[in-house]
Amino acid sequence: MKKLLTGNEAIARGVYEAGVSFASAYPGTPSTEILENVAKYDEIYSEWAPNEKVAVEAAIGASMGGVRSFAAMKMVGLNVAADPMFTFAYQGINGGMVFVNADDPGMHSSQNEQDNRRYAKAMKICMFEPSDSQECLDMVKAAYDISEKYETPVMLRLTTRVDHSKSLVELGERRNVAAVPYIKQRDRLDDVPAVSKKRRYVVEEREKKLQDYAEQSPFNYEEMHDTKIGIVASGVAYMYAREALGEGASYLKIGFSYPLPIEKIRAFAAKVDELYVVEELDPVMEEQLKAAGIACHGKDVIPKIDELNPNIVAAGILKKETHGVSVPDSSFVPRPPALCAGCPHRGFFYELGQRRDTVMVGDIGCYALGGSAPLNAKDLASCMGSAFSVGHGLSHAFSLSGQKKRVVACMGDSTFFHTGMNALTEVAYNGSNTICVILDNRITGMTGHQDNPGTGYNIKGEPATRIDIEKVVKALCIERVRTVNPLDLKAMKEALDWAYAAEDEASVIITKWPCVLKKFSKEDKEQFDLDRTPCVIDAEKCIGCRKCLATGCPALRYDSETKKSSINQTDCVGCTVCLQVCPVQAISRKGDE
């Protein structure tokens, strides 16, 4: 049976068909939907882990226990998970272990544009790069066979376009894979230096065997057409080249891309007049070809910044400008991203934006939008879970240099469980007056409402242990802790005043209110007043001061002719932040006019 699937859905199907028993991940665009779809198969134990390192470590444990295991993450998540992966590469597998790394060329939803193919070489493991959904499924299944044959973890490198594009996939049956009985093997699995020194030689021998496999892998194959131009390409870059050049070029499609099949490429290069390497993003293959003495073009004609497309490939190789559908820039209305109408973070950022001599450190999540106009509250951010530790460093820098500034650092509930607890430990242990704010919207918001340790539910929507954030904060020896409804501006202001008053110790504010877009749980309905009656503006009372617009709510409108504000009734959910800001009480709940 054939089915139209995204790359992420096809990866999940491949995990199912490969007979995997254990799967773990932390959500992150563009890889989030993989585990969401894996979780639909009852035959696979699936879980959201607190972070990518923990997900990989759990998958390593499952592999050591003898079953096929799987982990998935976006590219910055592999930075978090790299520590256990480098060591596991020395230990080798028991049950097959495969993990997905999803890169994000173009930074559609990421803070950098790293190319993680170099991790495979650094870890001395092997790597597949699918180009479409069928290859996603096929390569997952092949990866488990390779993993067990060569006793290695295997990396599948995807990119945003492969993750989210759809193509037809031939579905197969699930393979029943017997567990490998656990046997104590300290000389392989106990990574003390004496063991790792011996395993180092095993890793090198394995890499030689993987090199031999790469030369004859069915996922590396030629397509011979016009031989004036030869293209070596992997992943979605192959699709771009194939669409741009058609039968006007010959291709060496690289699907098993590390170790690279150098001799196969050398033989292909001899058949064409001029060789081009088309890859996204860095010159990873190009550098290896040139080191092997194979002349080629690469980043001299194909850019290494931003996502590629067929037009870019055609322009670089054929020196010919081609365009798809062309739309003049004047047709686009500037529409910067904004916090949703009713977002519980709005009240916090509105009140914080009124403070002077404050540096606000953000983190990775919806609250990244707190720096945009008109809120203008956030100054900077780094990586996931870093806000409190970056804030701690800033606070000490200001103290050491005599700069009279207060630091407020914020992160979400899922981010706090991800790596924020470590950062808060830094604040507590090393003495800081940083004001730490945990924005608890009762869900993992930015990636699409996945559950986390604070929600009380697991990936299948079943009841799970709920970890209480306030108890965790107090357990980390933070004595000044306050929980507040961020949509109550008076309470939010008082909480900030309370935190600012403590100049010699850290304070933690927990803002607690459900994300406006989430499906409310029974606990949400019991704990919070979720009245969604929209607000309205009395045009007679409105003085056109536009203070309501300073909240940045997308439900608000301002008519420059009448000089009056109004509220879109479809968008408004009655959070009442604008009502509290209005100086003339022109705003009220519908029905209370």
**Could you write out the DSSP letters of every residue in 344-388?**
THHHHHHHHTT-SSEEEE--SSGGGGGGSTTT----B--STT-HH
The reply to whether 337 falls in a domain is no
Higher confidence at residue 130 or residue 592? 130
- Asked if the bond preceding 259 is cis, omega within 30° of 0, the reply is yes
Q: What is the pLDDT of residue 392?
A: 97
Q: What is the mean pLDDT of residues 556-566?
A: 96
Residue whose entry in the numeric block shows the structure tokens 């000089």: 563
* Residues 378, 255 share a domain: no
Per residue in 238-260, pLDDT tens?
999 999 999 999 999 999 999 99
Check residue 328 and give its pLDDT: 82
From 195, 216, 237, the end of a domain falls on 216
Q: Are residues 405 and 554 in the same domain?
A: no
Query: What is the domain-level CATH number for residue 285?
Result: 3.40.50.920
Query: Which CATH number covers residue 569?
Result: 3.30.70.20
Q: Kindly tell me the number of DSSP H helices and DSSP E strands found in the chain.
A: 21, 22
Query: 3-class SS at 77?
Result: helix
User: In terms of domains, do 83 and 175 share one?
Assistant: yes
Residue 177 has pLDDT above 70, yes or no: yes
Mean pLDDT for 200-218 is: 97
Rounded distance, CA 527 to CA 301, Å? 59
pLDDT in tens, 452-475: 999 999 999 999 999 999 999 999
Q: pLDDT of 497-507, one tens digit each?
A: 999 999 999 99
Q: What is the mean pLDDT of residues 425-441?
A: 96
* Predicted confidence (pLDDT) per residue in 360-402, tens digit: 999 999 999 999 999 999 999 999 999 999 999 999 999 999 9
Do 575 and 342 touch, CB atoms closer than 8 A? yes
DSSP state of 528: S
Split into its structural domains, the chain has a count of 4
| The predicted structure's pLDDT at residue 324 | 67
Is residue 328 a part of any domain in this protein?
no
Residue 424 sits in the same domain as residue 367: yes
Is the same domain home to 96 and 210? yes
Are residues 33 and 153 both part of a single domain? yes
Closest CA to 253 of 271, 265, 270: 265
Give a yes or no: residue 172 inside a domain.
yes
pLDDT of residue 359: 97
**pLDDT value of position 321:** 76
Last residue within a domain, chosen from 198, 216, 234 = 216
Provide the domain limits for residue 581: 535-589
Angle 284-291/262-269 helices, nearest 10 degrees? 80
The answer to whether residue 271 is domain-embedded is yes
- Which tokens hold the place of 387? 């806000």
Give me the mean pLDDT over the 52-77 stretch.
Answer: 98
Going 543 to 544 to 549 to 553, the CA torsion angle's sign is positive
Same domain, 111 and 134: yes
The residue out of 527, 560, 579 marking a domain boundary is 527
Residues 512, 344: Cα–Cα separation, whole Å:
8
**Does one domain contain both 169 and 111?**
yes
pLDDT at 441: 97
DSSP 541-563: T-----TGGGG--TTEEEETTTT
The CATH number of the domain holding residue 365 is: 3.40.50.970
169 and 61, same structural domain? yes
In this prediction the pTM is 0.94
> Residue 62: pLDDT above 90?
yes
Say whether both 135 and 243 belong to one domain.
no
Could you check whether the bond before residue 168 is cis, i.e. omega within 30 degrees of 0? no
List the one residue out of 340, 391, 336, 335 whose CA is nearest residue 366: 340
The CA-atom distances, in angstroms, between 201 and each of 207, 212, 214, 529 are: 10, 17, 20, 63
Q: Are residues 179 and 192 in the same domain?
A: yes
Q: Tell me, yes or no, whether 327 lies in a domain.
A: no
Please state the φ and ψ torsions of residue 155, each to the nearest 5 degrees.
-105, 130
Do 60 and 88 fall within a single domain? yes
**If pLDDT is split at 50, 70 and 90, which confidence band does 119 have?**
very high
The residue count for the chain = 593
Euclidean distance between CA atoms 576 and 548, whole angstroms: 10
Tell me whether residue 55 is in a domain.
yes
Q: Measured in whole angstroms, how far is the alpha carbon of residue 37 from the centre of its chain? A: 16
- Within 8 A by CB and 6+ apart from 76, the residues are 28, 110, 111, 112, 114, 383, 384
496 domain residue, yes or no: yes
Residue 71, CB-side half-sphere exposure with 13 Å CA sphere: 32
Give Cα separations from 263 to 126, 218, 221, 235 (angstroms): 17, 15, 13, 20
**pLDDT for 284-342, tens place per residue?**
999 999 999 999 999 999 999 999 999 999 999 999 877 667 788 888 887 788 999 99
Name 166's Cβ contacts closer than 8 Å, sequence gap at least 6. Answer: 4, 5, 6, 133
* Contact yes or no for 451/458 (Cβ under 8 A): yes
As a whole number of angstroms, the longest Cα–Cα distance in the chain is 82
Query: Is 38 a member of any domain?
Result: yes
Q: How far is CA 243 from CA 83, 240, 285, 315, in A?
A: 39, 5, 21, 13
Q: Which is more confident, 208 or 320? A: 208
